[in-house]
């Protein structure tokens, strides 16, 4: 049974990695892999309550999926009403190196609230209007990839992996932000400073400057006031979620559903008053929901439930014991995980680590033979902060290592080899620098 499950998981992973070659959506592969793993476990797993295990894991996974559906809907609603144009309209600099820094910082902070994929799409579409030379645009897009991944790493709602750690209780909001903000921004500053050497110090032409104002024109029948209200309510709703969890102790997906419901009520009230507007051009939430990226949602369902099957079969515990015996050092374990995330999807990697290393409670810590090591696995322990950082930032080392990278690769036709030659070492330098900062913070300040 164990060998068969390992072979299915490895084969499924290879098919996901070769998605573009096989021309089969990775969501389909993940669902088949998930079903096969649970079927084998059900047929050959002895003395295990399969039904109970399946329901428990499905409940945990569904919390993440509902959270993502709510977040994706709010972000798409803001975009459809031109809300992000309020941000991009204020970018007026003509200096290319200054522009690189501005885009990097905007991307960094935007991805802390929005998902990395959406942030990357918005910034790359802006980039097309302000940088004409495609080789220079590749450098800008590469920095955007790094900034999006790093910005998502320090925020509890910035990346799927941090959402997973936050929703499962491995980390809490303020300690995570306090511990990872400086390492995350260092992991952007260093590659951006190095990449700026590849950018001409000449200013943009006036024609290119004029194009900036044409970025993200307002959709039909959407006025400046409406798009401003949608942006404020949408971003405010996303920021409300961690506050809701802190105040009530309830799961974050409930806060996200409250935010979505409030925005839904607001937009319905607005469009119900526009009697002269054709229904086909009204961007109601019910219309936006039809365009949600369901293959991505189903991919997360398949991959998370696949990892859950390995966890229930005891494979992750065995692997954790191997790492503890042969490495027994959290910085190395998390660092290796980050490097792996440059090759494979970071969602299953983080899910696997969460399955391998349960949160250590005070009683277990007190009874441990190695309390210093086990202290790293308590809630907000150094291992979980390292894991959030490494899994998020490590995906920038290769262009295929993150959703942001894959999106930019598709939009700008950036080649794998070009990114590997020009950007990978820059991203690696930022990644390692951030780990050093985390180590120094933990050594000096204890967090």
- Quote the pTM value: 0.74
The confidence score (pLDDT) of residue 193 equals: 96
Q: How confident is the model at residue 46 (pLDDT cuts 50, 70, 90)?
A: low
The pLDDT of 131-155, averaged and rounded, is: 91
Residue 203 has pLDDT above 70, yes or no: no
Which is nearest to 413 in space by CA: 88, 142, 101, 123?
A: 142
The confidence score (pLDDT) of residue 212 equals: 45
Q: How many other CB atoms sit within 10 Å of the CB of residue 224?
A: 11
Tokens 């007190």 locate to: 366
Helix (H), strand (E) at residue 407: helix 403-412
The pLDDT of 151-156, averaged and rounded, is: 92
Cα–Cα dist 203/130, whole Å: 11
Least confident segment among 137-151, 190-204, 270-284: 270-284
The pLDDT of 403-413, averaged and rounded, is: 80
Classify residue 377 by its DSSP letter. G
The confidence score (pLDDT) of residue 294 equals: 86
CA 100 to chain centre: 22
Contact 181, 267 (CB under 8 A): no
Q: How confident is the model at residue 170 (pLDDT cuts 50, 70, 90)?
A: very high
Q: How many other CB atoms sit within 10 Å of the CB of residue 48?
A: 13
The confidence score (pLDDT) of residue 390 equals: 94
The winner for highest mean pLDDT among 82-96, 219-233, 372-386 is 372-386
Residue 163 has pLDDT above 80, yes or no: yes
The confidence score (pLDDT) of residue 214 equals: 46
The count of domains in the chain is 1
Predicted confidence (pLDDT) per residue in 280-312, tens digit: 777 888 888 888 878 878 888 888 888 888 878
Cα–Cα dist 106/99, whole Å: 10
CA distances, 217 to each of 80, 124, 209, 212, 281 (Å): 11, 16, 16, 10, 15
Contact 101, 192 (CB under 8 A): yes
Predicted confidence (pLDDT) per residue in 214-250, tens digit: 444 555 666 778 888 998 999 899 888 878 887 898 8
Cα–Cα dist 376/330, whole Å: 7
Predicted confidence (pLDDT) per residue in 12-38, tens digit: 878 876 776 788 888 899 899 999 999
317 Cβ partners below 8 Å, 6+ apart? Answer: 311, 355, 356
Cα–Cα dist 447/202, whole Å: 43
The confidence score (pLDDT) of residue 297 equals: 85
Contact 26, 299 (CB under 8 A): yes
The residues facing 95 across adjacent strands are: 203
Cα–Cα dist 22/17, whole Å: 10
Q: How many other CB atoms sit within 10 Å of the CB of residue 394?
A: 31
**Structure-model confidence comparison of residues 417 and 217, the more confident one:** 417
The confidence score (pLDDT) of residue 205 equals: 53
Cα–Cα dist 125/79, whole Å: 12
The pLDDT of 177-185, averaged and rounded, is: 95
Residue 63 has pLDDT above 90, yes or no: no
CA 118 to chain centre: 10
Cα–Cα dist 345/217, whole Å: 35
Cα–Cα dist 413/289, whole Å: 29
229 φ/ψ angles, rounded to the nearest 5 degrees: -65, -40
Q: What is the DSSP string of 332-370?
A: HHHHHHHHHTTTS-HHHHHHHHHHHSPPPPHHHHHH-S-
Contact 387, 334 (CB under 8 A): yes
CA 436 to chain centre: 22
The pLDDT of 307-326, averaged and rounded, is: 78
Give the helix, strand, coil percentages of the chain, each rounded to 5: 75, 0, 25
The winner for highest mean pLDDT among 28-32, 99-103, 119-123, 189-193 is 189-193
**Structure-model confidence comparison of residues 116 and 267, the more confident one:** 267
Question: 3-state class of 37 per DSSP?
Answer: helix
Least confident segment among 41-55, 351-365, 379-393: 41-55
Least confident segment among 42-46, 162-166, 377-381: 42-46
Residue 399 has pLDDT above 90, yes or no: no
Residue 164 has pLDDT above 50, yes or no: yes
Residue 326 has pLDDT above 70, yes or no: yes
- Identify the domain containing residue 347 by its residue range: 2-445
Predicted confidence (pLDDT) per residue in 204-223, tens digit: 555 444 444 444 455 566 67
How big is the chain, counted in residues? Answer: 447
User: Average per-residue pLDDT in the chain?
Assistant: 84
Contact 438, 385 (CB under 8 A): yes
The residues facing 203 across adjacent strands are: 95
The confidence score (pLDDT) of residue 204 equals: 57
**Structure-model confidence comparison of residues 439 and 80, the more confident one:** 439
């Amino acid at each position: 049974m164990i060998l068969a499950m390992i072979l299915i998981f490895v084969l499924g992973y290879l098919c996901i990695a070769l998605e573009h070659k096989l021309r089969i959506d990775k969501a389909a592969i993940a669902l088949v892999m998930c079903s096969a793993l649970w079927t084998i476990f059900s047929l050959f797993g002895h003395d295990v309550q399969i039904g109970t295990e399946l329901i428990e894991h499905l409940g945990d996974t569904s919390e993440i999926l509902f959270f993502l559906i709510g977040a994706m809907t709010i972000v798409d609603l803001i975009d459809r009403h031109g809300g992000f144009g309020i941000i991009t309209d204020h970018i007026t600099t003509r200096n290319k190196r200054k522009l690189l820094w501005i885009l990097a910082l905007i991307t960094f902070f935007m991805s802390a609230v929005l998902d990395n994929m959406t942030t990357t799409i918005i910034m790359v579409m802006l980039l097309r209007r302000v940088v004409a030379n495609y080789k220079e645009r590749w450098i800008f897009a590469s920095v955007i990839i790094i900034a999006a991944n790093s910005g998502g790493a320090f925020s509890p709602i910035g990346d799927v992996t941090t959402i997973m750690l936050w929703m499962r209780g491995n980390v809490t909001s303020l300690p995570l932000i306090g511990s990872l903000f400086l390492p995350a921004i260092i992991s952007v500053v260093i590659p951006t400073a190095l990449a700026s050497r590849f950018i001409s110090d000449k200013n943009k032409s006036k024609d290119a400057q004029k194009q900036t104002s044409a970025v993200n024109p307002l959709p039909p029948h959407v006025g400046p006031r409406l798009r401003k209200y949608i942006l404020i309510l949408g971003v405010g709703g996303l920021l409300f979620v961690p506050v809701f969890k802190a105040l009530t102790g309830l799961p974050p997906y409930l806060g996200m559903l409250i935010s979505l419901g409030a925005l839904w009520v607001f937009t319905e009230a607005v469009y119900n008053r526009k009697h002269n507007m054709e229904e086909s051009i009204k961007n109601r939430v019910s219309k936006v929901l039809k365009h949600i990226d369901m293959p991505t949602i189903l991919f997360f369902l398949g991959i998370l439930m696949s990892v859950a099957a390995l966890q229930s079969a005891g494979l992750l515990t065995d692997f954790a014991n191997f790492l503890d015996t042969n490495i027994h050092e959290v910085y190395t374990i998390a660092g290796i995980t980050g490097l792996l995330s440059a090759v494979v999807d970071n969602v299953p990697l983080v899910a696997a680590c969460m399955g391998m290393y349960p949160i250590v409670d005070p009683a277990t810590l007190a009874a441990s033979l190695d309390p210093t090591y086990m202290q790293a696995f308590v809630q907000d322990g150094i291992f979980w902060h390292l894991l959030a950082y490494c899994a998020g930032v490590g995906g920038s080392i290769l262009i295929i290592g993150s959703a942001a990278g894959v999106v930019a690769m598709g939009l700008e036709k950036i080649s794998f080899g070009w990114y590997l030659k020009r950007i990978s070492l820059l991203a690696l330098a930022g990644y390692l620098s951030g780990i050093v900062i985390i180590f120094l913070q933990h050594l000096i300040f204890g967090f």
